[in-house]
Structure formats: C-alpha cells, structure tokens
Structure 1
Amino acid sequence: MDEKSMLLMYLRAQRAVVLAVLDGLGEAALKTPVLPSGWTPLGMVEHLGYAERYWFQEVVTGTADPVGWPDDDHAPLTTPRAPEVVFAFYRNQCARSDEVVAATPLDTPCHTRAPELPEAEVGDLRGVVLHMIEETARHAGQLDVVRELIDGRTGLGPR
C-alpha cells in the first residue's frame, strides 16, 4: 500500500469512529451538552465538517464553497441544525476532502498558510492529512466518552 492510501485509510477509519459512536442517538441526545464546557455531540460533528472544509479546501486548495447557513447562529461546538443536515454536511465535506487528496500529490505546498499550527507541521498536503487524522481521533475519543455518559455504551466503532 502506498503512503497516500495508508494515510487515507487511517483518516477514514477515524471518521467512521465518529459516526459509529453517535449512531442510534436521538436528536435530543445529540443536541444536549454533557460536559461543563457546553459542546454537544452534534456540534462536534459540525465542527469536524468545518475542519475538513477548512484544511482540505481553504488551506490546501485556496478555495471553498460557501456553507448554506450563517457561521454565527450558535454557540461554539453546538448547532441549531437537524442531525440529518449536520451528518450530510460532514459526509459531504469528507468526500470533498478525499477528492482533494486523490487529485493532489502529498508534497504539494499548501495554498494558504494556516496560522494555528507551525508551517513545518502543515506546510503540505501530507501535513494536513496527518493533522486531520490527529484532530478527528481526538474528537472521536471525546465523543466516545460523551456517549458513555449518555447511555453507558462503550467500545463503539470499527477500531
């Protein structure tokens, strides 16, 4: 397996964990903050969709289609949108990210400098993919803990 395929395999696995951990939760559970910081499971999925959009479209290619709603209509890591809208947004952004990866060599420099992280970490597509594996895994772990607090279920997901 080549490097790009391996990186995508790990990123897709973490994305699948995010979706599997939340599978079966109703809208009330998805929109209820469980931790004192106030974020909701559905808000985290929307955040991950925005992260996919930002890193692969804005940072790597320099362009991104606008989203269909205002960015300031909710508190951070929450969302007023319905679960089906948020999950569709996340899946769409992941598919768009995969298209960028398929069409771009791993050593392609980023179009836009991401001020959040040192350029040495995310200066090319390879760094962006690695960053998204890390970010998605971190949030998948947070969602796993929240799911356990909601209904006691653990060990969900393909990994």
Structure 2
Amino acid sequence: MTEVQRPPLTADERVQLIGWLDLQRSFVRMKCEGITEEDAHRKVLETSPLMTLAGLTAHLRWNEWSWFQLNLMGVPDTGQTPWTEGGHPDAEMFVDDVPLAQLLDEYDAECARSNETIASLPLDTVEQGPYAAKGEAASLRYILCHMIEETARHVGHMDIIRELLDHKTGYTTMSLG
C-alpha cells in the first residue's frame, strides 16, 4: 500500500502549495501501480486515443518541464518540445514504444528538478520564458496553482482509465496520512 501525506493543516502558503502539488504528483505513480505494460498503453477512450496511463504520464512530465524550466526560468528549448510548428499539439503523448517504468522515472525526475528549481524562489518570482516576452508572465504562485489543477485533472483522467481497465477506483492502493 502506498502511503502519502497531505500538507500540514496550518503550514505557510509555500508549504501548502508545494505540498498539495507533491500530493497530486504522488497519485500519478499510485494510479500506475500493478498495471501491465499493455494496459499502460491501452486506448480505452475511443474519442481520446492518446489518453492512456502512459500518455498522461508523459504529458505531465512535459508540463513540469514546460512550466518550471521553459516558462519560469527561461531555459532554452534544445529539443525538449516534442512537436514542431504545424505538428500534433499533443505529440508528447505519442509514447506507445516507451515503457511505463521509464515514463514514471522521467516524471519523478522532472518533478524533483521542478522542486529544486523553485526551492529558493519567492512566490512572486515572474516567468522569464516565452510568455514574458509577450507581456503575459505569470508568478511562481500562479504556476503552482495551475500545476495543482493540471496534475489533479489528469490524475482524475487516470482514475477513470484505471477503473475502465481493471475496476480499481479511488484510493484503493493507498492510505492518506
């Protein structure tokens, strides 16, 4: 059984935001526990064939890199973007040939890099990447709120996919502290 911790009830804003994001991140691996490689790549939603456990894991890894490295820190894209101009907008989800274990390890590593990147930044730090040049820069506070929403939404998708695959629902493989 996976054990995860909710953030403290009375922590400061930074601890709360990162704690809730880390909690949602932990659900990604939990939702994939015990799944076969075949099921990790199984397309169970006819109208959304890229929406697989593997595809969502890859998408979430891309979001971590995009928001914290590319947008916030202004790290140049040296090939991390999986699509080209005019290409498929969800190209990062084309991972049929990538093992789920690799995708989960890459996701965990990107989440750790995100946390390391923001560890000493004030919540009011503003993006330095592409949106800054357009005058649309967001604060780290905004990015953390967005990433909680983005991750939680896709964990919900993973929950539905997992239920369609093997009828496992909710928090059946974990306890919340």
Instruction: Output the TM-score relative to the length of structure 2.
Output: 0.78
Q: Are the equivalent residues in 2 in contact too, given 1:58–1:64 (CA < 8 A)?
A: yes
Q: Distance in 2 between matches of 1:144 and 1:95?
A: 23
Whether 1:111 aligns to 2:123 is no
Larger Rg: 2
Whether 1:27 aligns to 2:37 is yes
Q: Choose the corresponding residue for 2:20, options 5, 10, 19.
A: 10
Q: Distance in 1 between matches of 2:82 and 2:111?
A: 19
Q: Are the equivalent residues in 1 in contact too, given 2:39–2:165 (CA < 8 A)?
A: yes
Deviations 1:133-155 (A, max 9, x none): 00000000000001000000112
SS for the counterpart of 1:103 is: coil
Q: Are the equivalent residues in 1 in contact too, given 2:64–2:110 (CA < 8 A)?
A: yes
Equivalent pairs counted in the alignment come to 153
Q: Which runs of 5+ in 2 are unaligned?
A: 1-10
Q: Are the equivalent residues in 2 in contact too, given 1:53–1:93 (CA < 8 A)?
A: yes
> 1:3-152 alignment to 2 at 5 Å?
3-36=13-46, 37-39=48-50, 40-63=52-75, 66=78, 71=82, 76=91, 77-79=93-95, 80-114=97-131, 119=136, 123-152=138-167
Q: By percentage of residues, which structure has more helix?
A: 1
Percent identity for Structure 1 against Structure 2: 35
Residue 35 of structure 1 aligns with an amino acid whose one-letter code is L
* Alignment RMSD (CA, Å): 2.4
Q: Distance in 2 between matches of 1:81 and 1:67?
A: 18
Q: Are the equivalent residues in 2 in contact too, given 1:17–1:158 (CA < 8 A)?
A: no
| Structure 1 residue runs of 4 or more that deviate by more than 6 Å after TM superposition | none
Deviations 1:109-144 (A, max 9, x none): 1112449xx94xx61111001100000000000000
Deviations 1:23-58 (A, max 9, x none): 110100001111011022101101100000000011
Residue 143 of structure 1 aligns with an amino acid whose one-letter code is M
Residue 148 of structure 1 aligns with an amino acid whose one-letter code is E
Deviations 1:6-39 (A, max 9, x none): 1011001101111111111010000111101102
